[in-house]
Amino acid sequence: MPPLIFSLQLAFTLAVCAFLIVPVVLSVLAGLTVNYFVGLESGLTLKWVIEVWNGYRDTLFRSVGIALACLALTLVLGVPAAYALARAKSRLGRAFEELLMLPVAVPGLATALALIASYGALSGFRTSWAFILVGHALFTLPFMLRAVLAVLSAIDLKTLEEGAASLGAGPWQRFVHIVLPNCRDGILAGSLMVLTLSMGEFNLTWLLHTPLTKTLPVGLADAYASLRLEVGSAYTLLFFLMIVPLLLAMQALARPRRRRFIPADDTDLAPLALKP
């Protein structure tokens, strides 16, 4: 590659990175400065972070809890649904798949209004965090479904299952030992999207929450609207501190597993078997 073209590509990449990263850095610095309008000359402080932690830490833990519950719910519903759709390659299956994609196409506010109209009369349910969880699950389920379905559609699932069935594996054994290991990458990709989308979801949550069930994005919006800019920026900093470890953990799980060749049986002269 000519040096000029490489230099231009590098400069463009650095410009894009700066465009994306600089606002984040400035927001973090705003939450650590004594007075944002004066700048760093006013000094650095953790006062705003401590103030946000003391006043809003319940929203942080609630958001993490809802995100993890949403992940569990989408795994239980999305993976079997993707498996069923991968096996049922028919017009009805494709129509059902498109039906499951509707929550993504419909605005979040419309979905929230539909949930309120349907279940708003259930006072105990309406005022609990489970009501927000249902909205998040509706919104994130298509992302889990699509990620897993894309992986299952790329492999010869029928042949693998037929081979396992010929060795005596039942439906449950085939699902656990054949389907799940082969769609591991899709499950991890879907899990990453579900966690990040649930943690940052605002439109649905804005209508579904109550004063006692605020989540992190709602509290962040309140902080920016009604408090000092430094408080809102400190809230953003805490958001990063909560979400980044989750993302790093998911990325670590998504790394390919190392495999090595070992003899299938020390007393057998059979060829080497591939084992994890």
Please report the pLDDT score of residue 1 as a whole number.
62
Q: What is the pTM of this model?
A: 0.77
> Do the beta carbons of residue 32 and residue 96 sit within 8 Å?
no
Residue 190 lies in a domain: yes
Residue 269 lies in a domain: no
Q: Which domain covers residue 65, as residue numbers?
A: 57-256
259 CB-side CA count, 13 A: 7
Residue 50 lies in a domain: no
What is the DSSP-derived secondary structure letter of residue 40? G
Residue 220 lies in a domain: yes
| Residue 52 identity | V
Residue 121 lies in a domain: yes
| Residue 170 identity | G
Joined tokens for residue 35: 């007075």
Residue 117 lies in a domain: yes
> Do the beta carbons of residue 249 and residue 202 sit within 8 Å?
no
Q: Domain tally for the chain?
A: 1
User: Ranked by mean pLDDT, which of 29-43, 49-63, 127-141, 228-242 comes out on top?
Assistant: 127-141
| Residue 115 identity | L
234 CB-side CA count, 13 A: 26
CATH of the domain at 150: 1.10.3720.10
Please report the pLDDT score of residue 3 as a whole number.
77
pLDDT digits (tens, 9 = 90+) for 230-270: 887 888 888 788 777 777 776 676 665 555 544 545 444 34
Residue 214 lies in a domain: yes
Q: SS3 sequence, 136-203?
A: HHHHHHHHHHHHHHHHHHCCCHHHHHHHHHHCCCCHHHHHHHHHHHHCHHHHHHHHHHHHHHHHHCCH
Q: How far apart are the first and last CA of the chain?
A: 39
Residue 270 lies in a domain: no
**76 pLDDT tier (thresholds 50, 70, 90):** very high
List CB contacts of 6: < 8 A, sequence separation 6 or more: none
Helix (H) or strand (E) holding 70: helix 47-87
**74 pLDDT tier (thresholds 50, 70, 90):** very high
